[in-house]
A and B are shown apart, each in its own frame.
Chain A
Amino acid sequence: METDNPIEALEVPENTMIEMIKVSRTYVPDITALSDISLTVDTGEMFFLIGRSGAGKTTLLKLICNMEVPSNGLIEVAGYNINNLKGKRLAHLRQKIGVAYQDFKLLDDRTVAENVAIAMEVSYKNPQAIRQTVRDLLEQLQLTDKHNTITGELSRGEQQRVALARAVANSPRLILVDEPTGNLDANTTERVMNLLNRRNKSGATIVIATHDPTIYQKGNHRILELRDGQIHSLTRSNGS
């Protein structure tokens, strides 16, 4: 269903956040990163993507946030065909999607606070609110003492948390997290998951790509396993 018109978009069932139909992504010359993925993620769901390295998890997340375009198939986010969106519409949708990239994409020459603030600045939040949110987030992620540190000087685990803070800072409706706990100890991992769970409880849809069984085995979530770019299994965790 092509919905470029926001009025039409409202008619799409509100409870579907991501809809992928037969999506493929190939890279030149002949690498098939994803093939024939069909998938629905409900609004408010916390959804896990697992699979070995190179299975296509990152590619899938990049397709959802329109950083990459699919070679084939249809992707709708919040009822919008995300690949038909341009200019202002695309920008506004992206403001509602928070992404923590696997490679962080932090600005290494800026402070931690500035990096976290960027996501809010582009949607013209007022400076005072921005400062407050940044402080709160850094505290939740145990980065308070790094507030004014240049991001390039942080450890990878710290950078990872800064990336996460930036992803959730603007209170996005959809949060995509790529490998959020790869460099973290158990305690910090739990803090990160607590933060994400809180966001999930307050209504955000969250998709997490991970290798870390400890975070997806708890709780009651759907887990999609990719293998060589294809859906291997879709299961539900029934942990404590």
Chain B
Amino acid sequence: MNFWLAVFRQAGRNLRQTWASQLMTFLTVSLSVLIFAFFYLVYTNTIGASDRLSEDIRLIVYLEEEPGTAMQEQLLRKINNFDKTEEIRFISKADAYKRFAEQLGDDSDVLADMPKDFLPASIEVIPLKGLRGFNQIKLFSEYLTQLPGSEKVQYGQEWMERFYYFTQLLTIVVLLSGTLLILTATFMVAYTIRLTIMGRHDELELLKLVGATNSYIRTPFLLEGILQGFMGSIIGLTALYALFRWISIHFSGPGLLNLFHFTFLQPIIVISIVFISIGLCTLGSFTSIQKFLKI
């Protein structure tokens, strides 16, 4: 009881005495939480979008000519040899014509003069769900190109490639901003606490002389670290949430961004970020105060 009374009074004094640098630290922690959480949010949304996109991934193998039944079976076997698939569909020239006409709808009369077999026959391959990494799709398509009678394989290569490198880049950015968060949280807090300790060196020395236990001296500083971590992450995340609301209000609606069903970070992630930043800040203050106590 009296222990906590003393601890809170001491923490209050620390805050009063060094509020300017405390504020700086607090802002730095908030900002790094914001930066990290922002990139992480973009990352999860991109991953989400890429998952949704890859639901629709299909490889279309255009064939030189319409395969007979025997040929079809041979092709089926070959494709399944490479890998299991979700589905393989043969599309004859007539089917392709019919689909095209359907797609044109009212304008389908432009096709009237065309021969019914002007579109090539093709095979639609829908790969297994688990097998959807960009590199695997690429390998698969290379394999499909070598099938007998295959003319070319299409699956939106360029687009996928860009998307793939974008997610790679994002991963790196997330890792970097995560490191930034760790460094700022730990070192900034360690630094401010060291500043406080230096400013109150005489007092802390005296406390030791009159018999203050290490935990009596340490706890107020740990409390400060916890406070910094908690407040910093809460403010950082709140700012991100505000930004998120703003973006989803202003950029939702039709268009490319529809691809992204914006979702905010999951509660478990939010809680983890709060706890991790509390942990880091406490660690920072712990190392500083421990250095002092060892002397």
| Interface assignment of A135: CB less than 8 Å from any CB of chain B | no
Q: CB distance A105 to B206 under 8 Å?
A: yes
Supposing A88-B213, A107-B202 touch, asked if A122 and B5 sit within 8 A by C-beta, the answer is no
Q: CB distance A94 to B209 under 8 Å?
A: yes
| Interface assignment of B3: CB less than 8 Å from any CB of chain A | yes
Cβ contacts B37-61/A at 8 Å (1 or 0 each): 0000000000000000000000000
- A-side contacts of B269, CB under 8 Å: none
| Bound form: Cα–Cα A93–B130 in Å | 67
Across the two chains, which residue of chain A brings its CB closest to B212? A122
Instruction: Give the interface centre of B1, B202, B209, B210 by most chain A CB atoms within 10 Å.
Output: B210
Q: CB distance B211 to A123 under 8 Å?
A: yes
Supposing A122-B216, A125-B2, A126-B2 touch, asked if A107 and B210 sit within 8 A by C-beta, the answer is no
| Interface assignment of A121: CB less than 8 Å from any CB of chain B | yes
| Interface assignment of B139: CB less than 8 Å from any CB of chain A | no
Q: CB distance B3 to A118 under 8 Å?
A: no
Q: CB distance A95 to B209 under 8 Å?
A: no
- B-side contacts of A121, CB under 8 Å: 2, 6
| Interface assignment of B263: CB less than 8 Å from any CB of chain A | no
Supposing A124-B6, A125-B2, A126-B2 touch, asked if A107 and B203 sit within 8 A by C-beta, the answer is yes
Instruction: Give the interface centre of B2, B203, B207 by most chain A CB atoms within 10 Å.
Output: B2
| Bound form: Cα–Cα A119–B208 in Å | 10
Supposing A91-B214, A107-B203 touch, asked if A67 and B3 sit within 8 A by C-beta, the answer is no
Cβ contacts A43-58/B at 8 Å (1 or 0 each): 0000000000000000
A187 to chain B, nearest CB (A): 29
A/B interface sample: 18 pairs, CB < 8 A: A87-B213, A88-B214, A91-B213, A94-B208, A94-B210, A95-B210, A97-B211, A105-B206, A107-B203, A118-B207, A122-B6, A122-B210, A122-B216, A123-B211, A124-B6, A126-B1, A126-B2, A166-B210
List the interface of chain B (C-beta within 8 A of A). 1-3, 5-6, 202-203, 206-214, 216
